[in-house]
Amino acid sequence: MTMDVTFLGTGSAYPSPHRGASALVLRTEGECWLFDCGEGTQTQLMKSQLRAGRITKVFISHLHGDHLFGLPGLLCTVSLNTNPEQQNLSCVEIYGPRGLRHFLRVTLGLTGSQLLFPYAVHELEPTADQSPEEGQLSLQMTAECGPLHPQEQPGRTIFLDASSDSYLLFEDKRFVVKAFRLFHRVPSFGFCIKEHDRPGRLKTELLKELGLKPGPLYGRLKAGKPVTLESGRVVLSSEVLQEAIPGRKVCVFGDCSSVLGDGPLRLCSGADVLVHEATLGDEHREKAVDHGHSTPEMAAAVARACCARRLVLSHFSQRYKPGSLQKDGDEDDVAELKRQAEDALQDSDVEVTLAEDFLTLPIPLRRP
């Protein structure tokens, strides 16, 4: 099964002609999951190889505009491009902090926007230590008054599970998706997408020796069930299966100046890809932290603690132009951010990649 990540916006604060505001898409088998949706994400999608109509789930890390202003417009455009004759359109599941449900209901409601498909907002309840006090939304501000939007389905409210220090968003046959807490000027979350491990291949030589021919019994063994031979001998699936194929793990951090609790590092341990913000260079560390942001060295420390395979830096201040637009004499060089992370990871196996708008990173299957 193929899996890749495409960056649609890698700039902080606002979209510019050379960098979109925050958005990335994780694609698996034709299904697209969108992480953050800054202003202009829909035009970035149109310029990419991806199709907005394939988006089935949306994850919003926090309620700052550069991660959210694009969502109502994107939903409306997807609706415009939906065939009204199509029956049983599936619900777009949206996950994000408390307040997101109210934001969408008000923006879609006041603009009289009707969608051709249903949507549901599942809200994560932040804890009080995820931001300074002035960054916390009062219950009054996020109070949901009035009826649901006509296309809105009731969503869940998800609370922190104290024992794992994480939020379980959902689990299906292929993935388990959790969120974890970050510290930022407003409550911010990261997301961990973990593919389930898959059973290893069947040891066909051994099966032949046992007198088992290809057929339904092979499927039974592959599914982890035992098979009884005519002789009465019971064959366990563990005897005839090679080592399991480990599932892939992708972690996407929202804006932050630090992680909160031990959930993030535990969840992201061994990540194939860890996407972390690096808004400003290490020389601006004080300013970055003041604004609730990270530098490459800080992102590198997280990747090292998680033993991630690849650290992808993103969410750059608009002062850093993409490498292709860099001119001699430009003061702020985005390549320097990569060097700073690499310096901090010199004696580790973590690879560093700079995100760029429209960069697609394939995430290959791991070999056991």
Binding site for Zn ion (CB under 5 A): 12, 64, 66, 255
Taking the least distance from each CB to Zn ion, the nearer of 12 and 257 is 12
Q: Across 187-315, where does the E strand assignment appear?
A: 188-195, 227-228, 234-235, 249-252, 258-259, 273-277, 310-314
66 noted as active-site residue: yes
Taking the least distance from each CB to Zn ion, the nearer of 12 and 166 is 12
Min. distance of Cβ 255 from Zn ion in angstroms? 4
Exactly one of 4, 36, 66, 349 is catalytic; which is it?
66
CB atoms under 10 Å from CB of 77, counted, come to: 16
Q: Which amino acid is at 286?
A: E
Name the residue with tokens 């959930």: 263
Beta bridge partners of 56: none
Could you give the 3-state DSSP secondary structure of residue 166?
A: strand
Q: Are the CB atoms for 54 and 30 separated by under 8 Å?
A: yes
Q: Are the CB atoms for 77 and 104 separated by under 8 Å?
A: no
Taking the least distance from each CB to Zn ion, the nearer of 233 and 287 is 287
Q: Which two tokens stand for residue 190?
A: 């990261």
Taking the least distance from each CB to Zn ion, the nearer of 37 and 221 is 37
Q: Across the chain, where does the E strand assignment appear?
A: 3-9, 23-28, 31-35, 55-59, 92-97, 119-124, 152-153, 157-158, 167-171, 175-183, 188-195, 227-228, 234-235, 249-252, 258-259, 273-277, 310-314, 351-354, 360-362
Min. distance of Cβ 152 from Zn ion in angstroms? 26
Nearest to 321 by CA among 297, 346, 365, 357: 357
Q: Are the CB atoms for 33 and 4 separated by under 8 Å?
A: no
CB atoms under 10 Å from CB of 156, counted, come to: 14
Taking the least distance from each CB to Zn ion, the nearer of 52 and 186 is 186
Taking the least distance from each CB to Zn ion, the nearer of 70 and 350 is 70
Q: Which two tokens stand for residue 287?
A: 């300013």
Min. distance of Cβ 25 from Zn ion in angstroms? 17
Burial string for 230-240 (b: 16+ CB within 10 Å, else e) reads: eeeeebebeeb
Min. distance of Cβ 293 from Zn ion in angstroms? 8
Q: Phi, psi at residue 359, to the nearest 5°?
A: -70, 130
Taking the least distance from each CB to Zn ion, the nearer of 12 and 317 is 12
Which H helix or E strand runs over 80?
helix 71-80
**Residues involved in catalysis:** 66
